[in-house]
Amino acid sequence: MTKHHDRCRLAVTLLAVAAVFSVSLALGRYPITLSGLLAGEEMTVRTFTLLRLPRAVMALLGGFGLGVAGFVYQTVFRNPLASPDIIGVSSGASVGAAFAILFISSGAAATTACAFAGGLMAVFLALGLAAAVPGQSKVSLVLAGIAVHSLAQTLLMLLKLTADPEKELASIEYWIMGSLAGITAGRIGFSCAVIVLGCCALLVLHRQLLLLSLQEDEARMLGVSVAVVRFFVLTVATLVVAAVVSVTGLISFVGLLAPHIARLWLRHNRRTACLMSGLLGSLLLLCADTLAKTTAATELPVSIFTSLVGVPFLLYILLSQRGRTE
């Protein structure tokens, strides 16, 4: 019965994602109609294929990747409030993007490549620091991530100080706020490939991932090489997050909310919950992006809308935990 209910809930969520995806394709500054597409109107077809469709696909896959990565972090660290930037990937990507804007080019290709490289450098530095600590544990990973995050924030502040306040600083701040406005067909190919392959790998390794949520001695008794599996799944999850934020900028709360809502709804931590986390992440980011491009006359940062949902939900979690402890 539980599996049947899980399948029904997955089907409902999938239908909701498909509906919001279709709405996202239709809405925007330039109206797109099905009749215009079928008639082959040049401006309609170009807008749809070069801008609207790539943006919606990136929101779909980016949200899915953030949701699955959030599920991985929360499972590995056994903390429902863990998020994809817990070991510094988001901060590292911010430093990489700022470096590109200041010293290479503010163009999309350079910013994306440097943000991706910055996210990877940050997570490998955190994993290296954690590996150097005797008796490796999840706590050492978290502490290493906090250290890398602080270092990255310091570097980001130094880069901002050297930026031109009228042009470069504004570009850095806008990237940090997160937006899918500048996405084109040529920008998303590599990122989408990394997201799809990474999420498939994490879903395949779901059993080993769940064993990491046990005590380390218990996981070893069940035949899991804890250090190797933890390093691999965290690296893959970080690759997925870096692939998303290198294109979209920083997107807050999606990786935190999606897995938490999935667990509350399904009330278990099995593979279905991991898949549900991805679908809910897609739904959240698609909804936020649709609102970002239709609410005001100018394009708004996506994180405004994800935060409007995330902050009340976070307060709800904190209050519910307080009620249980009293």
Look up the pTM and report it: 0.88
Q: What is the mean pLDDT of residues 55-76?
A: 92
Tell me the two tokens of residue 106.
């503010």
Q: Tell me the CATH number of domain 2-288, given options 2.60.40.10, 1.10.3470.10, 3.30.420.40, 3.50.50.60.
A: 1.10.3470.10
Query: By mean pLDDT, which of 15-19, 32-36, 42-46, 321-325 is the weakest?
Result: 321-325
Q: Supply the pLDDT for residue 325.
A: 46
> 316 to each of 76, 250, 259, 279, 309, how far by Cα in Å?
23, 23, 15, 22, 11
Residues 111, 248: Cα–Cα separation, whole Å = 11
Residues 79, 91: Cα–Cα separation, whole Å = 20
In whole numbers, what is the pLDDT of the chain averaged over residues?
A: 82
- CA torsion 210-215-220-221 (nearest 10°) is -100
**pLDDT for 213 beyond 70:** no
